[in-house]
Amino acid sequence: MRLRLVPEVTNFDFFYYQRYTFGASCVAMVLSLVIWLMMGLNFGIDFRGGTTIRTESVQSVDVGAYRDAIAPLNLGDVSITEVFDPTFGPDKNVAMIRIQAQDDTESVAADTVQSVEDQLKEVDPTITFPSVESVGPKVSGELIQTALIAVGASLAAILFYIWLRFEWQFSVGAVAALFHDVILTVGIFSALQIRFDLATIAALLTIIGYSINDTVVIFDRLRENLIKFRKRDLRDVMNLSVNETLSRTVMTSGTTLIALIALLILGGDVIRGFVFAITWGVVVGTYSSVYVAKNIVLYLGVNRDDKPSDKGNQFANVDA
């Protein structure tokens, strides 16, 4: 007996409320942009600048104890991560402590760094501080620029790839859905003032990859059905394609969310922002695959008369 989260054959009308669902997506995007412009993002150390302290100790690193020791200093955004390396011996335990710049200065003051070191020595007398490095505003600005280029380049590459594999209408729909996912994710981070750092950029790129994967699966089934049902209305063919891939979509999203929710609850503060971004992205990405990408293709229309064979366009059989 196989577990089925949805029936083997479904006939849901996903486009019955297409104006409302697409309109809600547009409103959500506008609200996200307004919130972003009004409230801004809670940038982490990667984008604000600050100081990184490397620690080494004979004792095991206790991130919680380190954080509790530094908390009374009220230094704002402090990130503590343990460094793992197979070359480290059992008596070499390394951690990286990142402290945001204070009062718009380029780095944390020397007396503040000394206070941090004193607090940590009370937790672990064997601790040493082999290096202290600062990240200034110039480097932070370059990181922001590089992050924007990375997201923009990925969207451009996906636009080109979907056009090669399918039709230009499909590529417009797919990239619009990805913009929808990215803007809503940035909007929720701005509204909740969740720390936005390089890990969040990695999460955004992961969301883009996950969302386009789900979209392409439905697009591929749609292309097959457009050839199979040439005389059938485009809306009905799209609805059939979504229903035929519904089981796969629910299983993929559901199992992914199970792992993400476990990490969100048990993963700790260090990765919570990253995991929250991906969790949110899986939800909105699944939604946008149907209610944004497919709606745009439906509005633009697809010319099915220019397909003399079942090969789609001239690039349809290019190996992925």
Structure tokens at 257: 């969310």
**Other C-beta atoms lying within 10 Å of the C-beta of residue 169:** 18
Mean of the per-residue pLDDT values for the chain? Answer: 79
pLDDT for residue 33: 93
Q: Which CATH architecture has domain 50-135?
A: 2-Layer Sandwich (3.30)
pLDDT for residue 184: 92
Crossing angle, helix 168-192 and helix 18-39, to 10 degrees? 50
Calpha distance 308→220 (Å, rounded): 18
Going 34 to 38 to 39 to 40, the CA torsion angle's sign is positive
pLDDT > 60? residue 319: no
Is 0.85 surpassed by the pTM of this model?
no
Calpha distance 283→211 (Å, rounded): 9
Q: How sure is the predictor about 108, in pLDDT bands with cuts at 50, 70 and 90?
A: low
pLDDT in tens, 266-317: 876 667 888 899 999 899 988 888 888 888 888 887 766 655 444 444 444 4
Q: Where are the alpha helices (DSSP H) in 11-136?
A: 18-39, 45-48, 63-70, 110-123
Which residue shows structure tokens 């202290």? 132
**Other C-beta atoms lying within 10 Å of the C-beta of residue 119:** 16
pLDDT for residue 107: 59
Query: What radius of gyration, in Å, describes the C-alpha atoms of the chain?
Result: 24
pLDDT for residue 280: 92
Q: What is the dotted CATH code of the domain comprising 18-42+140-300? A: 1.20.1640.10
Domain ranges of the chain: 18-42+140-300, 50-135
Q: How sure is the predictor about 170, in pLDDT bands with cuts at 50, 70 and 90?
A: confident
pLDDT for residue 312: 45
Going 261 to 263 to 267 to 271, the CA torsion angle's sign is negative
pLDDT in tens, 233-274: 888 888 888 888 888 888 888 888 888 888 888 876 667 888
